[in-house]
A and B are shown apart, each in its own frame.
Chain A
């Protein structure tokens, strides 16, 4: 099938310190004009020197109609620049893009919302900004209002809206755009859990209608869920273009450097502070890749200046999709809580049995909490990480990737019935 989006040798060059250049004054520019001929004469061919950098360089891809493609990469990899060029916000320096369909981009929800205008008025204004005709908006008005769930306040100025209502209304307008190509940037990270679920539902239905979607996100779960294909950008270049699950796992594998131990500077004003966190094998050796069948230990060293009655040490284990798989604390019930710990240094060690974590990447958050809502002495967010390698699980022999989050060995019994 012929492509609906064709990107050829696309490049975008920025000047380093463009921000300063933008605040150039008229005087600078006048002086610059006078000096320009001399400068050109003096520094011929200095164009490609360190003064410029390529935010996007030699990117080529084609997207067929109906494809849902994820664009992933670290911050600064050029994702936003690519999207901005596709949505005609900024011009490429080299190469070009051909679009064979109507395009709409959502780099943000609620672009152009005016706080003084009512919900109704903002629907029309925002719709027009996103490229809808007045008649189109009028035709979909009721649907938009219903989706946003703000019908009671539709004639109230949006400055009186709660942030949740505001975002719901904004997303509702955007979700009812009907272009052939839709470009989405991280807009899913809005609203409460229920609304996010609704948004995801809307997104996948958009995709299923045969619309072509380009989706940029840091949420690998969403990329895998929505997209059939994904492109990885790294330093402005397209390094991989393949099916979404492969791309996501490749991205996670290569971009995350594993840290098996972390130490933290002492902050004397903290009553209780985590000094170091480390991952070791059961034998105490430092590990970064560990067989899934073997137990391993997480060690938390901490300092106590003033202990609060009932405080506890805990750990969260996240998988590569940012799902919190496991939580565990050094006290298991109120009865076990520690009344008092004398000032000094302590070491807490937890052993995670073999087989609990299936092959993959894991991130560990350690924390010490004082009792009472939200009072943390110290939290070290994902300070250590570990790869669990498949040490010959049953399914791996058949070439099946582990497809469950955990593989805790369970007891099976087989008995003959006749």
Chain B
């Protein structure tokens, strides 16, 4: 240890020599002219400002690497690996089919119950996992947040996008089920992409909002699983939205309801409930914008309180 200290210290005479060296070499170095306006101006921010999209774009590679890390690490040292992505909705589907499909005789709009349940569980599992991991993502990245600058929204957003990989894998099983039950595809399947985008946006919105709140109130960590569970029962997963009949608008206040019904309509070629879908889309957008502003307002204190 002492040797290293000795190494680092020069005596004063050598010091002056090295200092003058630095000066001459700096002088010979060609300086690029400085910009007239500062590249970055750091000021106390006002409380309501929109997201800094330019910064997000500059750091797009980091988003890629954060997603890549989450995906890569998720199934390391697991015996079943990626199969877990299918296992969760598959076994839930089997249990629900037995309990609700067979025993309770739940209606399923004329679709075989297992298929009906799996088509609902698929987007739900993605949404629930994405919101949970996104909601805990900032607190889990405290070491990054206190040590280095990068646009903070990348962390909860990356957590959601990483969930899309599992979503895609679980979709493969759906394809198998659909072949098994001989479901014919219709043009409605084209709605799948906008539905996935909306679900992702909703998960990003809720996830960002929860992650920011979680930094300040660790209550979120405990409340989130509970809220997700309630939300599950408020969504038409084990039951069809049609059982509500005239009260459908009530269930439509849950943006996931319109989306899940939308998935079923797209996959099984059934008519879309456009009003419900529009309501879900509108709610998703409003919620995401609100979440973005809330996040922006809270992010400046993340490093101080995390």
- Measured CB to CB, the residues of A under 8 A from B are 2, 4, 6, 14, 18, 21-27, 29, 65-66, 68, 84-94, 96-103, 105, 107-108, 111-112, 114, 116-117, 121, 124-125, 128-134, 188, 192-193, 196-197, 200, 204, 207-210, 219, 221-222, 224-225, 228, 244-245, 321-324, 401, 403-405
Q: Give a binary string over B60-94; 1 marks a CB under 8 Å from any A CB, 0 the rest.
A: 01101110110011001100000000000000000
Q: Give a binary string over B133-150; 1 marks a CB under 8 Å from any A CB, 0 the rest.
A: 000000000011111111
Of the listed stretches B2-10, B95-103, B282-290, name the one at the interface; the rest are far from the partner chain: B2-10
On whether the beta carbons of B23 and A130 are closer than 8 Å, the reply is: no
With A88-B149, A193-B4, A324-B6 known to touch, is A405 a contact of B11 (CB < 8 Å)? yes
Q: Give a binary string over B242-255; 1 marks a CB under 8 Å from any A CB, 0 the rest.
A: 00000000000000
Q: Is B26 an interface residue (CB 8 A)?
A: yes
Q: Which 5 A-B pairs have the closest CB atoms?
A: A221-B9, A210-B29, A98-B38, A22-B305, A88-B149
* Chain A residue, CB-CB nearest to B306: A22
CA distance A321 to B4 in the complex (A): 12
On whether the beta carbons of B42 and A129 are closer than 8 Å, the reply is: no
With A24-B216, A87-B149 known to touch, is A131 a contact of B22 (CB < 8 Å)? no
On whether the beta carbons of B45 and A403 are closer than 8 Å, the reply is: no
With A111-B143, A111-B147, A225-B18 known to touch, is A193 a contact of B45 (CB < 8 Å)? no
- Measured CB to CB, the residues of B under 8 A from A are 2-13, 15-16, 18-19, 21-23, 25-26, 29-31, 34-35, 38-45, 59, 61-62, 64-66, 68-69, 72-73, 76-77, 143-150, 216-219, 300-301, 303-306
On whether the beta carbons of B44 and A22 are closer than 8 Å, the reply is: no
Contact of B41 among A98, A129, A404 (CB under 8 A): A98
* Chain A residue, CB-CB nearest to B218: A23
Taking CB atoms, residues of chain B closer than 8 Å to A129 are: 62, 65, 144, 148, 150
Taking CB atoms, residues of chain A closer than 8 Å to B149 are: 87-89, 105, 131
Taking CB atoms, residues of chain B closer than 8 Å to A221 are: 5, 8-10
Extra inter-chain contacts (7) besides given A131-B150, A404-B11, CB under 8 Å:
A24-B217, A96-B44, A101-B39, A107-B148, A116-B77, A200-B7, A208-B29
CA distance A94 to B35 in the complex (A): 25
On whether the beta carbons of A245 and B12 are closer than 8 Å, the reply is: yes
Contact of B11 among A6, A85, A403 (CB under 8 A): A403
CA distance A319 to B124 in the complex (A): 67
With A107-B147, A125-B69 known to touch, is A323 a contact of B6 (CB < 8 Å)? yes
On whether the beta carbons of B304 and A208 are closer than 8 Å, the reply is: no
CA distance A18 to B303 in the complex (A): 12
With A89-B303, A129-B150, A321-B9 known to touch, is A25 a contact of B217 (CB < 8 Å)? yes
* Chain B residue, CB-CB nearest to A11: B44
On whether the beta carbons of B8 and A196 are closer than 8 Å, the reply is: yes
On whether the beta carbons of A88 and B40 are closer than 8 Å, the reply is: yes
On whether the beta carbons of A133 and B147 are closer than 8 Å, the reply is: no
Question: What's the minimum C-beta distance from A268 to chain B, rounded to whole angstroms?
Answer: 31
Contact of A91 among B2, B11, B30, B300 (CB under 8 A): B300
With A114-B69, A245-B12 known to touch, is A99 a contact of B42 (CB < 8 Å)? yes
13 CB contacts below 8 A, A to B, read: A14-B304, A22-B216, A23-B218, A87-B148, A112-B148, A128-B61, A134-B61, A209-B29, A210-B29, A210-B30, A219-B8, A403-B11, A403-B13
Contact of B65 among A124, A244, A323 (CB under 8 A): A124
Contact of B42 among A21, A66, A96, A100 (CB under 8 A): A96
Taking CB atoms, residues of chain A closer than 8 Å to B59 are: 128, 131
* Of B9, B73, B143, B144, most A-chain CB atoms within 10 Å: B9
Question: What's the minimum C-beta distance from B265 to chain A, rounded to whole angstroms?
Answer: 38
Contact of A68 among B22, B69, B150 (CB under 8 A): B22
CA distance A128 to B148 in the complex (A): 11
CA distance A192 to B13 in the complex (A): 27
* Chain B residue, CB-CB nearest to A404: B11
Taking CB atoms, residues of chain A closer than 8 Å to B65 are: 124-125, 128-129, 134
On whether the beta carbons of A18 and B73 are closer than 8 Å, the reply is: no
Taking CB atoms, residues of chain B closer than 8 Å to A130 are: 148
Taking CB atoms, residues of chain A closer than 8 Å to B10 are: 221, 224-225
Contact of A97 among B16, B42, B73 (CB under 8 A): B42
CA distance A102 to B149 in the complex (A): 12
On whether the beta carbons of A403 and B12 are closer than 8 Å, the reply is: yes
On whether the beta carbons of A117 and B73 are closer than 8 Å, the reply is: yes
CA distance A150 to B216 in the complex (A): 40
On whether the beta carbons of A225 and B7 are closer than 8 Å, the reply is: no
* Chain B residue, CB-CB nearest to A4: B34
Taking CB atoms, residues of chain B closer than 8 Å to A245 are: 12, 15-16
On whether the beta carbons of A197 and B34 are closer than 8 Å, the reply is: no
CA distance A23 to B214 in the complex (A): 10
CA distance A93 to B42 in the complex (A): 11
CA distance A323 to B7 in the complex (A): 9
With A99-B38, A117-B72 known to touch, is A197 a contact of B7 (CB < 8 Å)? yes
